[in-house]
Amino acid sequence: MNFSLRPFLLIVALSTPLLAEEPTKDLQDALAALKLPGVKIDLEERAVDVTAIVNLDEGLLEFVACTKDTKEHESIVKIQAKPSHIHTALLLLGAKAGHPAIRKIVGEGDDQRWIDLPPKGSAVTVSFVTTDDGGEQTERPLSAFVTRMNEEGEPNLEEAAKRLKTFLFAGSNLYGDGEGPKTYLADRSGSVISLTTFGDELLCLPEIYGHENHALLWELNSKHLPKIGAKIILRLRPQTNIKSPKR
């Protein structure tokens, strides 16, 4: 998939007014004309709402959200929206993209070695909005749906709530040679919101979480989750007044 920069042409014109307390009619009209299927910028909630489908009712997790036909077996929800479109919407709400975790070579000769650089980006809170049979909506933090398991296999809800409080707008990566269109990696891989570090995700946790670290297992808690196939809202709320951890 080629990543089109066309939606970003509106950002320079819109980003400053969008942060104003009272959005202008011109701004509202411009947002209405911005085509981001499956993605809505909610000015009242100061959030990006993404249409999502419940994908699991039990099991271990490596993702909160992935795109359809990618990593559903380890993700709570799947979405049809393009991660690059969610990226655009977050920018319009004032969030600043950083980068996923990076592994790079430093030093020269015999001193050459690999180091891991943690991810960076604006802080974002993640929640799910569910709708009951009466049409009433309820927003709950992600920690209401995910449990962190310790080395003994026992759930630690308090630790999960602490670690899942903030995600980073890593912004995936653009890839491509030459002057042609670039590929937005999350559009291709489906890595929307990760709990484990992959290096191509749109949103991630502030630290590096390796696949081999069995002390950091995430498990689905489906108590408040609708049945598989139900439509919910994945709500991303940029914390534009919160700085990413210093590195």
The per-residue b/e assignment along 43-61, b for 16 or more CB within 10 angstroms, e otherwise, is beeebbbbbbbbbbeeeeb
- Does residue 244 fall inside a structural domain? no
Per DSSP bridges, beta strands 39-42 and 47-54 are antiparallel
Look at the chain and report how many structural domains it folds into: 1
**Rounded-to-integer distance, Cα 119 and Cα 124, Å:** 13
The verdict on pTM exceeding 0.85 is: no
Cβ proximity of 236 and 168 under 8 Å:
no
Residue 104 falls inside a structural domain: yes
pLDDT confidence of 176, banded at 50, 70, 90?
Answer: confident
pLDDT digits (tens, 9 = 90+) for 197-228: 999 999 999 988 776 554 458 999 999 999 99
Is 37 domain-assigned?
Answer: yes
The pLDDT of residue 146: 94
The percent of residues above 70 in pLDDT, for the chain, comes to 77
Q: Does 156 fall in a domain? A: yes
Position 44, amino acid: E
Does 87 reside within a domain? yes
